[in-house]
Structure 1
Amino acid sequence: MTLDASDWAGAIPLPPDSEPLVEFASDTERHTVVAIASARVRLCVHKVPGLTVPTLTIPCDPSCALRLAAATRFQRVTQGKRANIDRSAEPTAYQRTRWSQLLALHDALEAGASSRDIAFGIVFPNHRPLKGAEWKGSGERRHVLRLTAAARRLVASGYRSLLHHR
């Protein structure tokens, strides 16, 4: 979260039981991670002389809804209220399972596993391993190749898509 303020001390109205975990400051900005009860808040405060009220800036990008939810939680926490958790931004159980499988598959590829090893070790652990021509023409092989491509795309695109609930 990014705040613009003329004074760093007045920009962040933290409750008395808050504890700064990490701080870094330069002439123009201050980065802070603060523990407030069970919540962790990461702030970047830009020093802007002449501002009478601290200003929160939220860019209109794909993360806008997440940033608005974070700003709402920040306001609730700094006012001493309980931070409500927004479940709409969480991945579904199916998405969590699929992403875990894709990341495990990618790790196996990086370790040098073959597509057949991946098929019967990760994707189809309860199936009988196929041999030779039976494997080459199987739907299991094609499915593993599609999953391999998806795992590589996931890693190549970074993990931001996991956070954007797509």
Structure 2
Amino acid sequence: MPGADPRTAPALWSPATATDLVMLATANTGTTVPLLPGFDRLAEISFGTDYHLVAANGDARLRLCIHMSPAHSHDCLIIPHDNHLAARLAAAARYEKAAHGRRLGTDRTASPPAYRRARLALLLAIHDGLEAGASARDLAFSLVFARHQPLAGAAWKGSDERRHTLRLIAEARKMVNGGYRALLLRG
């Protein structure tokens, strides 16, 4: 839920959607799951026999889904064989690296490139502006075309700036109303 506090209601995505989620099956059915050396818990929640954990060490993040299963005699990594296999294997390799005490850097494969991040930030700023009561013209000349002189009247109505801003407004609304889920699908 977009308005939820991430500390109390973390976004815990399904393995089918989150390709950076590492799934473990373990016989360790203790009450707490031990953290990797040097990692802190950012968010955690339990659903039945599944325990979801987001752990951090500096800029490095690991998203884990730990399935408590006394039937397993050894801890096992579960890697679905699907179109995102390469990303899943990379996430499992990062987990193994951390499990052996090696330092992790920021996972660049789990975040959009700089241009995409800037566009997403613009879309969120447009949505925030709409929520605050800004008009399309206000948004156009404060966010989208900040270096242009504002247009008025008929010049604004027939302008490319207006059409482009309205497309961005529609995209921002779509993203906030559920389109953000597409960010999780990479590849």
TM-score (structure 2 length as normaliser): 0.69
Identify which of 107, 124, 127 aligns with 1:106.
127
The one-letter code sitting in structure 1 at the alignment partner of 2:95 is: F
The answer to whether the 8 Å contact 2:53/2:65 transfers is yes
- Partner Cα distance (1:26, 1:106) in 2: 33
Unaligned runs of 5+ in 2: 1-21
Residue 159 of structure 1 aligns to a residue in which SS? Answer: helix
Q: In the alignment, residue 124 of structure 2 is paired with which amino acid?
A: L
Cα shift readout 1:17-74 (whole Å, capped 9, x = no counterpart): 5555666567734444545576443433222223222222233566554433221101
**Are 2:87 and 1:87 equivalent residues in the alignment?**
no
Distance 1:75 1:142, change over 3 A: same
User: Following TM superposition, by how much is the alpha carbon of 1:124 offset from its aligned partner in structure 2, in angstroms?
Assistant: 1.0
Whether 2:153 is the aligned partner of 1:132: answer yes
Q: Secondary structure of 1:98's partner?
A: helix
Q: Which amino acid aligns with 1:108?
A: G
Point out the structure with the larger helix share. 1
SS in 2 for 1:4: strand
Q: Is the 8 A contact 2:60 2:106 kept in 1?
A: no
Paired with 2:34 and 2:157, the residues of 1 have a C-alpha distance of 64
Match of 1:142 among 157, 163, 167: 163
Q: Give 1:116's aligned residue.
A: 137
- Residues 31, 44 of structure 1: 8 Å contact kept: yes
- Contact 1:29–1:44 (CA<8 Å) still a contact in 2? yes
Tell which structure's C-alpha radius of gyration is larger: 1
Contact 1:102 1:151 in 2 (8 A): yes
Per the alignment, residue 25 of structure 2 pairs with 4
TM-score, normalised with respect to structure 1: 0.77
| Number of corresponding residues | 164
Distance 2:109 2:48 in 1: 38
Percent identity, aligned pairs only, is 49
1:69·1:86 contact (CA, 8 Å) conserved in 2?
no
